[in-house]
Amino acid sequence: MTATLKQATGPQFTRILSFGAARGENAVPNDDLIGPIDSSDEWIRQRTGIITRARAVKETDAIDLAAIAGAEAIEKSGVAASDVDLVIVATISNPKQSPSVSAIVADRVGSNPAAAYDINAACAGYAYAIAQADALIRAGAARYALVIGTEKLSDVVDPADRSISFLLGDGAGAALIGPSETPGIAPAVWGSDGSKADAVGMNGTLTQFRDGEVPWPTLRQEGPTVFRWAVWEMAKVAREALEVAGVEAADLAAFIPHQANMRIIDEFAKQLKLPETTVIARDIETTGNTSAASIPLASHRLMAEHPELSGGLALQIGFGAGLVFAAQVVVLP
């Protein structure tokens, strides 16, 4: 007689229970960066909408930021840290290639021995991680998941680079995901276009740096290429995410895009024909572009400034290096 395997099943629905955040200790104004790029405060504001960006001190790394944000999300959720059995960290700035940020953070926040792993999907990483946490909980592989986007991008900045350096900030945002009696996370619309991988990414490898072939690798981008892709192609993805969620733009209480550039955010809103009642996250103005951390950081600030949004629908969309993208509609905690 052949034995029959058991397979796990979980709750039908999940939702975000809470957010947490940590930003770099220093607010760095445009005037501090304009010398090496021969620019001006006015030029940066007009092109990006950034007034200041958060950057961490030398002693703070992406792991420290993630642990602070994760601890806040757990505390605000009311879930015991020991009940969190899955930690997913999205980052491109782990100070070491191994061990994972997630395993260290799980221990620091009191969730040891939770399952823990990192993902690298650049600026779409948080949205990817939300989709995975939702699926794993509903499959019965976990009950409570801590999802974190964390970055210390000031470590991979060339101060003389005019393509992206003045955009970047440091921070971490976290969300605690758990079972729900009603739908709280819609299906993700996600994908990639690796054929355009050179449009934004690192300008060298660690082995090239080791062998003296290149300076310390830093982030670079082809600004016009990324702008056109983000505005036109990602607007299509955002509309598809609304469709698979079964809602319309008019139903949205909030729009929380990756904080890449204020002009991209404004064009998004125009393309989606968002009503005036939809609150649009604009955290980039004082935090900068924090890649995987930008959506949860913007969500955290939005909820602090607009608590009336609780229970409303938000469309979030991440997109970035490797031309990786993910969008989904969620219910705000």
Residues catalogued as catalytic: 123, 258, 289
Handedness of CA 232, 235, 241, 242 (dihedral sign): negative
- Residues 8 and 244 sit within 8 Å (Cβ to Cβ): no
Evaluate the omega torsion of the peptide bond into residue 275 and state whether it is cis, within 30 degrees of 0.
Answer: no
- Residues 143 and 65 sit within 8 Å (Cβ to Cβ): no
Task: Give the residue among 148, 41, 48, 168 at the shortest CA–CA distance from 102.
Answer: 148
Task: Give the residue among 30, 20, 4, 129 at the shortest CA–CA distance from 76.
Answer: 20
267 burial (CB, 10 Å; 0-12 / 13-18 / 19+) is middle
DSSP assigned state of 4: P
- Residues 104 and 87 sit within 8 Å (Cβ to Cβ): no
- Residues 35 and 78 sit within 8 Å (Cβ to Cβ): no
Reported as half-sphere exposure (CB side, CA atoms, 13 A), residue 122 has a value of: 21
